[in-house]
Amino acid sequence: MKRPIRFILIALCCLSFGRLVAQLSPEQPQRALYGNTGTILTPTGYLSPDGQLAFGVSYIPQGYTQINRREPLWRGDRVIYANLGLLPFLEITFRLTSPDGSKNNFGIGDRSLFLRGRITKEKKILPAIAIGLHDVVGVVGYHHVAYLVGSKSFALSPSTQLVLSAGYGTKIIKNVPNTYLQGFFGSASWRWKFVSLNAEYDAKKVNAALYIRVLKKIDFHLAYLDLKKWSGGVSMQLKLLK
């Protein structure tokens, strides 16, 4: 419990930077622990803004990774990612997953590419709909999935939003050993300015998280996976176009 308390204290300090924060919004969506725009582990229908490059690192504890290594010293996976809004309608995430604590030779780790494309932009009635293809090119394919997801935001007040997302995922490459997002998934985010409280069902379990954006560039993510184990991440974003 010490790590989460430390995180909350840091987050509270960051909250004091009142004017240096950027509002979370569909135009500035939050990022999932795997680097793509999403809630906690599930994606949403929003894409990274055009020309936005983000770097981040996350930690997924043992038991909730996509790879079950079955080693006594293995504690979890470190995920290092780079996420880019390559075009206004195309997002790319390059992800590197390496084990923490394992003494076996896994080389640099599992490398994979996530592609997400926009089908529709959110309008008054129409939700934002995106199609995704994860682990299209990778070493093993543990995160391979193809999915369709839609998101709709509801303004509760000028500074508060509720974002609901739902989608369906499935394998295209049949012989890969993945269980990620296989079936229906959905999430809900309650957003107030630069803070977001999230809950999701990722086709296997329920997760919850706190998300904070500070200094307009740095995101902190604290997640409670399966409501049993803590996880988290931090990322930083740059605008390449301006």
Partner 1 sequence: MITKADIKNYFILTLAVLMCSMLSVGAQSLQAPYAPTQEEMTQPYPFGGLKDSLLTALKASGWLNLRVQASADKLIIAFENRIYRFEARAIKALIKEVAPIIGTRYKTLALIVLNRNVPIMGLSLSLEAWNGFLHDAQAFPVFANSIHTTLNIQADWQLLKDQPITQTGALRTEAYVDPQLRMGLGGYPKPVLVQINLLPTANLYLWRGAQLKAQAIVPTFNQLPIPEDKSIRPGLIGINQYFRLPSATFMGLSAGYFTNYTYGLELELSKILFNGRFIWRNKMGYTGYASFPKRLGLEKPVPGWQVSSLANLDYRSSVEYRLAKYNLVAKIEAGRYLYHQNAVKVSVVRQFRETDIGFFGQKSSQGANYGFQLSIPILSKKYGKPQRFQFRTSKSLPYTYTATQYVVEDYQSGNDLYLFLKKLNPPFIQNQLRNSLDW
Which residues of this protein are in contact with partner 1, per CB under 8 A? 51, 53, 84, 86-88, 92, 94, 98, 104-109, 111, 137, 240-242
Complex with partner 1: residue 105 or 157, whichever CB lies closer? 105
User: In the bound complex, what is the minimum distance in angstroms from residue 145's beta carbon to partner 1?
Assistant: 20
Alpha carbon 193 to chain centroid, angstroms? 19
Least separation in angstroms between CB 133 and partner 1? 14
Tell me the sheet residues that pair with 212: 195, 220
Residue placing its CB nearer to partner 1 in the complex, 99 or 150:
99
The nearest distance, CB 198 to partner 1, in angstroms, is 29
- 51 versus 183: smaller Cβ distance to partner 1: 51
Q: What is the smallest separation between the CB atom of 137 and partner 1, expressed in angstroms? A: 6
Complex with partner 1: residue 87 or 197, whichever CB lies closer: 87
Let me know: does 76 contact 100? Beta carbons within 8 Å.
yes
Residue placing its CB nearer to partner 1 in the complex, 40 or 115: 115
Cβ atoms of 241 and 48 within 8 Å: the answer is: no
Residues 6+ apart with CB under 8 A from 159: 23, 192, 193
Which is closer to partner 1, CB of 106 or CB of 201? 106
- Least distance to partner 1, CB of residue 45, Å: 21
142 or 211: CB nearest partner 1:
142
Terminal CA-to-CA distance of the chain, rounded, Å?
A: 40
User: Do the Cβ atoms of 220 and 212 come closer than 8 Å?
Assistant: yes
Q: Where are the beta strands (DSSP E) in 47-127?
A: 52-61, 76-87, 90-100, 110-120
Burial class (CB in 10 A: 0-12, 13-18, 19+), 33: buried
Residue 226: CB minimum distance to partner 1, A: 30
**Count, residues in the chain:** 242
Closest CA to 147 of 136, 161, 131: 131
Decide: 233 and 221 in contact? Cβ < 8 Å: yes
Could you tell me which of 143, 117, 139 has the C-alpha nearest to residue 128?
Answer: 117
Shortest distance in whole angstroms from residue 51 CB to partner 1: 5
